[in-house]
């Protein structure tokens, strides 16, 4: 009897192991198998995956190199408080500080995985890495939340932090479920009318966020309509085009020097509704440009409150609670004022709703 039970147990164990062996490896976003043994010990990144990897890993330990632009974003924003060691991540892996790889420097790092864009100048970005035999994990530019979820799960698989990735996805969905309720209330008050919004990535030259950019998706989730939605990619447009769009609200990229006053003082912009009504706002900087799984809902909340001022003002409390729950950070009022650009946005209509004296507590559970 004992022999029979032992034989059955061995058979079951073999079946389990066989099933595990047959589990297909994850695929990157160009459809190639990712054969990295998780957790990866040494990783190189060329894109905004850096802050999500830091968040999942809860540290910079495995990051062997990253593009200078992303390291600068982390080290100059709120994430520097959570990951101060990220400022020392080597940046020589990129030739231009952005996406063009320095293959020799990367080979010296002997990475287990190299995260790089697919669909953006592929020959210059991907081919040198493939040719060198490096373990590339290709990622698409994020267009909607499905891309966000796919990227988070892929990073979770490589880092061995799949459970944490799923937890962030759940939090993201819960945040938007609450926000959707407020957006619907706002739209009901306006009888379904959505305001025209221009997200200006650059002021000189004029480059708006296009319809396929994830910021455009978040803009729509906030209850606005992206006037540049017909653009297939970020591209230079004329002032005549902007006058034709006549946005009612203009939002400026968080992390350059352009401010609302620049547009208010520019004679070319005076006919635009957003300028006439002083509804130009600089996007908060946050820790990751007010984007990704953690900060995307915060960006939409910020814009929703500007589009529907009758809604309760909870953004400040949401920011404080989010960073405490995800990063263990306690953000004081001075820090919140800085990341919300309270000073430069003070010249714009209704921005005092985000001041420390008027903001209500977070509605997050």
Distance of CA 360 to the CA centre of its chain: 25
Q: Residue 35: what pLDDT?
A: 83
CB–CB of 131/106 below 8 Å? Answer: no
Q: State how many domains the chain has.
A: 2
Q: Residue 119: what pLDDT?
A: 73
Let me know whether 112 and 184 are in one domain: no
Let me know whether 217 and 288 are in one domain: yes
Let me know whether 80 and 198 are in one domain: no
| pLDDT higher than 50, residue 34 | yes
Q: pLDDT band for position 233 (50/70/90)?
A: confident
Which of the two residues, 23 and 178, has the higher pLDDT score?
178
Q: Residue 121: what pLDDT?
A: 62
Name the DSSP letter for residue 142.
Answer: P
Percent of the chain with pLDDT over 70: 91
Question: Residue 169 forms beta bridges with which residues?
Answer: none
Let me know whether 124 and 200 are in one domain: no
Q: How far apart are alpha carbons 319 and 354 in whole angstroms?
A: 11
What mean pLDDT comes out for the span 73-82? 95
Find tokens 């939340």 and name the residue: 145
Name the DSSP letter for residue 25.
Answer: P
Q: Residue 52: what pLDDT?
A: 94
Q: Residue 363: what pLDDT?
A: 55
Q: CB 305: neighbour CB atoms within 10 A?
A: 23
Query: Phi-psi bin for 290: left (phi > 0), alpha (psi -120 to 50), beta?
Result: left
Q: How far apart are alpha carbons 105 and 102 in whole angstroms?
A: 6
Which of the two residues, 310 and 122, has the higher pLDDT score?
310
DSSP string over 309-360: TTS---HHHHHHHHHHHHH-----HHHHHHHTTHHHHTTSTTGGGGSTTTPP
Look up residue 309 and give its two tokens: 């001022």
Query: What are the C-alpha distances in Å from 147 to residues 9, 143, 200, 209, 213?
Result: 42, 6, 23, 17, 11
Q: Residue 22: what pLDDT?
A: 54
Query: Does the residue 3 lie in any domain?
Result: no
Query: For residue 345, what are the domain limits?
Result: 166-354
Tens of pLDDT, residue by residue over 181-199, are 999 999 999 999 999 999 9
- The residue out of 105, 135, 160 marking a domain boundary is 160
Q: Residue 139 in 3-state DSSP?
A: strand
Q: pLDDT band for position 2 (50/70/90)?
A: very low
| pLDDT higher than 50, residue 18 | no
Let me know whether 111 and 196 are in one domain: no
Query: Phi-psi bin for 225: left (phi > 0), alpha (psi -120 to 50), beta?
Result: beta
Let me know whether 280 and 191 are in one domain: yes
What mean pLDDT comes out for the span 79-96? 96
Percent of the chain with pLDDT over 90: 75
Query: What are the C-alpha distances in Å from 164 to residues 80, 272, 342?
Result: 21, 45, 33
Q: Residue 359: what pLDDT?
A: 63
Tens of pLDDT, residue by residue over 162-177, are 999 999 999 999 999 9
Let me know whether 79 and 135 are in one domain: yes
Q: CB 257: neighbour CB atoms within 10 A?
A: 8
Find tokens 């995985």 and name the residue: 113
Q: Residue 316: what pLDDT?
A: 95
DSSP string over 191-203: TTPPPEEEEEEET
Query: Phi-psi bin for 23: left (phi > 0), alpha (psi -120 to 50), beta?
Result: beta
88: domain CATH number?
Answer: 3.40.50.1980
Let me know whether 178 and 319 are in one domain: yes
- The residue out of 143, 160, 177 marking a domain boundary is 160
Let me know whether 128 and 227 are in one domain: no
Q: Residue 360: what pLDDT?
A: 63
Find tokens 């994850």 and name the residue: 26
Q: How far apart are alpha carbons 305 and 364 in whole angstroms?
A: 16
| pLDDT higher than 50, residue 4 | no
Q: pLDDT band for position 25 (50/70/90)?
A: confident
Gyration radius of the chain's alpha carbons? 23
Query: Does the residue 297 lie in any domain?
Result: yes
**HSE-CB for 261 with a 13 A CA cutoff:** 7
Tens of pLDDT, residue by residue over 282-332, are 999 999 999 889 999 999 999 999 999 999 999 999 999 999 999 999 999
What mean pLDDT comes out for the span 140-164? 89
| pLDDT higher than 60, residue 11 | no
């Amino acid at each position: 009897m004992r022999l029979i039970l032992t034989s059955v147990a061995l058979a079951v164990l073999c079946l389990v192991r066989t099933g595990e062996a047959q589990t297909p490896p994850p695929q990157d976003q160009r459809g190639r198998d990712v054969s990295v043994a998780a957790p990866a010990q040494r990783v190189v990144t060329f894109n905004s995956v850096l802050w999500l990897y830091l968040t999942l890993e809860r540290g910079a330990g495995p990051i062997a190199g990253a593009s200078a632009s992303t390291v600068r974003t982390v080290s100059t924003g709120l994430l520097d408080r959570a990951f101060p060691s990220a400022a020392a991540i080597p940046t020589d892996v990129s030739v231009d500080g952005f996406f063009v790889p320095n293959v020799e420097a990367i080979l010296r790092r002997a990475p287990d995985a190299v995260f790089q864009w697919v669909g953006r100048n592929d020959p210059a970005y991907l081919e040198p890495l493939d040719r060198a035999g490096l373990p590339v994990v290709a990622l698409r530019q994020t267009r909607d939340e499905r891309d966000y979820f796919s990227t988070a799960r892929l990073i979770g698989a490589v880092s061995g932090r799949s459970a944490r990735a799923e937890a962030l996805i759940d939090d993201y969905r819960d945040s938007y479920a609450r926000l959707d309720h407020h957006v619907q209330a706002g739209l009901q008050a306006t009888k379904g009318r959505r305001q025209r919004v221009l997200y200006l990535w650059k002021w000189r030259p004029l480059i708006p966020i296009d319809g396929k950019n994830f910021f455009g998706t978040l803009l729509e989730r906030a209850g606005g309509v992206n006037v540049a939605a017909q653009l297939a990619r970020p591209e230079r447009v004329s002032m005549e085009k902007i006058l034709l769009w006549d946005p009612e609200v203009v939002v400026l990229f968080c992390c350059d020097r352009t401010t609302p006053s620049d547009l208010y003082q520019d004679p070319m912009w005076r006919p635009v509704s957003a300028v006439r009504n002083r509804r130009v706002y600089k996007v908060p900087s946050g820790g990751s440009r007010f984007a990704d799984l953690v900060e995307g809902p915060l960006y939409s909340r910020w814009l929703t409150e500007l589009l529907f001022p009758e809604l309760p003002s909870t953004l400040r409390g949401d920011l404080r609670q989010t960073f405490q729950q995800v990063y263990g950070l306690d953000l004081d009022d001075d820090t919140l004022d800085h990341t919300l650009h309270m000073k430069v946005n003070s010249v714009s209509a209704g921005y005092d709703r985000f001041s420390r004296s008027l903001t209500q507590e977070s509605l997050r559970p």
